Amino acid sequence: MKHHPVRHLISLDDLTDDDLREVVERGAQHAAASDAATSGAVDRPLEGLVAGIYFVKTSTRTRTAFSTAMLRLGGTIVSYGPGDLQTNTGETNEDTGRVLSRMLDLLVARTAGDPGEMRQWATQNRMAVVNAMSADEHPTQALADLTTLTRHFGRVEGLRLLYVGEGNNTAAALALALSRCPGAELHLRTPPGYGLSAAILERSRRQAARSGAAVLERHDMDVLPGGVDAIYTTRWQTTGTVKPDPRWRETFAPFQITDALWEHSPRAVFLHDLPAHRGEEVTADVLDGPMSIAFDQAENKMYSAMAVLEWCRAGQWQHVDGGIPATASAGRT
Ligand code: CP
């Protein structure tokens, strides 16, 4: 098998600031090319490559996004379910990574635990490993979210976001990504006991201090920022998790997204990583209303996944013809 430099994307920390910007803009380029139906704008840079798609946890969007992204870029896929690999019978993660890397070019995985397992698969340099969600971070969701913001506003820099809900892996990735965007503000309103971890908050704030962004968290809905550009939530029952407190819904109830939040931010768009539970974290009026771009956000996961796969193959988009500047799609989603 021929060798090509690969890059792993297990955490947003694996991207430099330039990488982050380029992957986001590249995702927006793929989206704009698709909008414009310029079929010649994207050739098949991953032709001849094979990606393993290994999801231990349920997924509708991310799994489909990476599968279709790989196919659209000319590659093929091999899919594994939670019980399929011999890790279930005791084979080590390192051996699994070594073996798969002899046959696969990329491995896109969603796991149940921390990213340590993925780091063990990544102790080889033939097969790129992509974190499609682990317990602590959902890096490719944040990349798709920034692509969505770029498509809608033409930029991420200087945007002000209000995030309401659990400080889960989606919120963590959003904080880690936005805190690297100059002038961006992320205002989190997380239920008491369900905030960002201290480690994520510390990393985000350190990055924000460097970039000129801000990450601010409170555990009540008493004081809200006005005039924000976007309001974001995630479902209360984060995939793969359970809440030990049987009364957790009472704690979360004040954090439901309703029309009332638009009183002080009338121009804000609504974002949701989906899946949604109407009547829990968000009312149907908001999710299905004119301010919602949540379903465009879901579609953008595919364009962003295309950019991630190309990046993992060491910027294989250099082989792509043309391309439409991200700013060309500003104002559309
Ligand atoms: N937002 C997200 O990760 O969706 P899936 O769980 O369906 O992949």
pLDDT tens track for 199-217: 999 999 999 999 999 999 9
Bigger pLDDT: 105 vs 2: 105
The residues near 170 (Cβ < 8 Å, ≥ 6 apart) are 138, 141, 142, 234, 238, 273
Rounded to 5°, the CA angle 111-77-85 comes to: 45
Crossing angle of helices 198-211 and 169-178, rounded to 10°: 20
Paired tokens of 330: 């500003």
3-state secondary structure the chain: CCCCCCCCECCHHHCCHHHHHHHHHHHHHHHHHHHCCCHHHCCCCCCCCEEEEEECCCCCHHHHHHHHHHHHCCCEEEEECCCCCHHHHCCCHHHHHHHHCCCCCEEEEECCCCCHHHHHHCCCCCCEEEECCCCCCCHHHHHHHHHHHHHHHCCCCCCEEEEECCCCHHHHHHHHHHCCCCCCEEEEECCCCCCCCHHHHHHHHHHHHHHCCEEEEECCCCCCCCCCCEEEECCCCCCCCCCCCCCHHHHHHHHCECHHHHCCCCCCEEEECCCCCECCCECHHHHCCCCECHHHHHHHHHHHHHHHHHHHCCCHHHHCCCCCCHHHHCCCC
**In contact, 157 and 184? CB cutoff 8 Å:** yes
For residues 162-190, average pLDDT = 98
Q: How close is the Cα of 224 to the center of ligand 1, in Å?
A: 28
For residues 288-301, average pLDDT = 98
Q: How confident is the model at residue 40 (pLDDT cuts 50, 70, 90)?
A: very low
- The domains of the chain, with CATH numbers, are 12-137+301-312 (3.40.50.1370), 139-296 (3.40.50.1370)
For residues 121-134, average pLDDT = 95
Q: How confident is the model at residue 317 (pLDDT cuts 50, 70, 90)?
A: low
Ligand 1 pocket test, candidate residues 53, 238, 273, most atoms within 8 A of CB? 273
Q: Range with the lowest mean pLDDT among 111-125, 214-228, 261-275? A: 111-125
| Residue-level pLDDT at 240 | 73
Q: Range with the lowest mean pLDDT among 111-120, 189-198, 278-287, 324-333? A: 324-333
pLDDT tens track for 67-114: 999 999 999 999 999 999 999 999 999 999 999 999 999 999 999 888
Residue 99's closest CA among 116, 80, 74?
80
CA 105/CA 98 separation, integer angstroms = 12
Ligand 1 pocket test, candidate residues 61, 66, 301, most atoms within 8 A of CB? 61
Residue 273, ligand 1, Cβ within 6 A: yes
Which residues on neighbouring strands pair with residue 130, listed in sequence order? 9, 108
Q: Which atom of ligand 1 is nearest to the CA of 57?
A: 6
Q: Which atom of ligand 1 is nearest to the CA of 110?
A: 8
For residues 115-138, average pLDDT = 95
Paired tokens of 124: 């080889």
Residue 295, ligand 1, Cβ within 6 A: no
Instruction: Give the torsion through C-alpha atoms of 144, 16, 228, 284, to 10 deg.
Output: 20
pLDDT tens track for 14-35: 999 999 999 999 999 999 998 8
- Look-up: residue for tokens 């979360």? 252
| Residue-level pLDDT at 311 | 96
Residue of the nearest CA to atom 6 in ligand 1?
59
For residues 149-173, average pLDDT = 98
Residue 234, ligand 1, Cβ within 6 A: no
